[in-house]
Structure 1
């Protein structure tokens, strides 16, 4: 499969995740950090067929393009996750860490699927949004989650990574993808790979995991189905080098210039 973009530290493919993953060699990456489509965002089954903008952004004014693959029913979502998670397990080196983003609705399914894919489920890390929408008479749905595990045993060595983040989501023009995660969270997670190790993201979106990986001195392999977002990710990743920038704001500024 020909890369959509590549340089000495980055390889980005444009296409279906399962098809692209099957072309990657065994035991070739050091961490899998990814944010797949949730197929969530509604109270009823029919809500899954709504546009991603209406599901995840509600009344917020936005200009980001909708994305596909977010309307699977519960059984097909779990089966699909097990398939690509199994491919990621094959590609990961023994002891590698995986972290998969999800919301509260899909949390039980993802914890099952990660084990069906061959990983050892180790825990859940939470991203809490301080400005989450209130829900009158009930707790605010303030958290999204990273289900994490390992490819078999993992030595208890290296730095301790956070298991909780209290970081505001990006808003308006600062958001390049409808479900973009804060780069501060991802810069912590990519350090699960050793320095100069390879971080894989099969659902690269606008490339934020790649930006975090490069900034932290890791290499990056990304896959993105949408041509629009693959182009955006390629522009953001081009020219980003370790220690080039020091703040989240600067990182996005440099990414827009690239």
Structure 2
């Protein structure tokens, strides 16, 4: 599967398309009012309390000691909190413009950036609806402290959203398994398969920080379409390859 021009949207025959490029610039070329749901995990700019901590290579910040598998690096993860919030508000406002009325937006974050992410969602024009907890069983215990074994999906809507359809859980407990991890901060396919169901069948999901493309894989498996944006070339290629593996058997 090759890259697509920003104006070309996924189709039923080609349900996952990849834009290789910087997210904010690419988002400005996405047509208005075409997206049913936004599900994405921007670089958290986390992994430390000080500027020096945040400036460390992502492989140091996010890869556990003793992990044998090496992942391609990625950029854009060293903003301070004020810059992170302002930047998020910019791309979230573009996601709002590209979304249909009532569309859902879900943004992953960790505990350090949780408050700033809720602010940025609202600054981007979305109606803030709450926080979904993703529990990661098997997190490393730290003596005398609570375990950091949860991440969060801050979610909102593009204006009012009709009260219809089945409810969704506010808590998901899904482990990270090495055979299913393709990115330093990758999310489990099973988790994303559950979350993409917030989009109606056949609808369009936007992931503007696609990483290894798990949102696209999950969308294709669950009968949704997905537009992926990824600026790092190795990961953009991974998105294409993983999507092709899922789509080819179905065709």
Instruction: Please tell me the TM-score bracket, short chain as reference.
Output: over 0.9
Matches within 5 A, 1:174-193: 174-193=180-199
Deviation at 1:19, TM superposition (A): 0.5
TM-score (norm 1): 0.90
- Residue of 2, 5, 11 corresponding to 1:2: 5
SS at match of 1:214: helix
- Residue of 160, 169, 180 corresponding to 1:162: 169
Q: Work out the CA distance in 2 between the residues paired with 1:228 and 1:239.
A: 17
Superposition CA RMSD, Å = 1.9
Measured against aligned partners, the alpha-carbon deviations of 1:147-188 in whole angstroms (never above 9, x if no partner) come to 0010000011112122111111133x5421110001111111
TM-score (norm 2): 0.92
Say whether the 8 Å CA contact 1:32–1:98 is kept in structure 2. Answer: yes
Say whether the 8 Å CA contact 1:29–1:93 is kept in structure 2. Answer: yes
Deviation at 1:242, TM superposition (A): 10
Distance change in 2, residues 1:243/1:61 (3 Å): same
Count, aligned residues: 243
Deviation at 1:5, TM superposition (A): 11
Q: Work out the CA distance in 2 between the residues paired with 1:33 and 1:56.
A: 21
Q: Which residue of 2 aligns with 1:200?
A: 206
Pair 1:127-2:134 in alignment: yes
- Where does the alignment leave 5 or more consecutive residues of structure 2 unmatched? none
Matches within 5 A, 1:24-173: 24-59=30-65, 60-171=67-178
Measured against aligned partners, the alpha-carbon deviations of 1:20-71 in whole angstroms (never above 9, x if no partner) come to 0000111011000001100001132211111111101131232111111111
Pair 1:240-2:243 in alignment: no
Distance change in 2, residues 1:136/1:188 (3 Å): same
- Residue of 29, 48, 72 corresponding to 1:23: 29
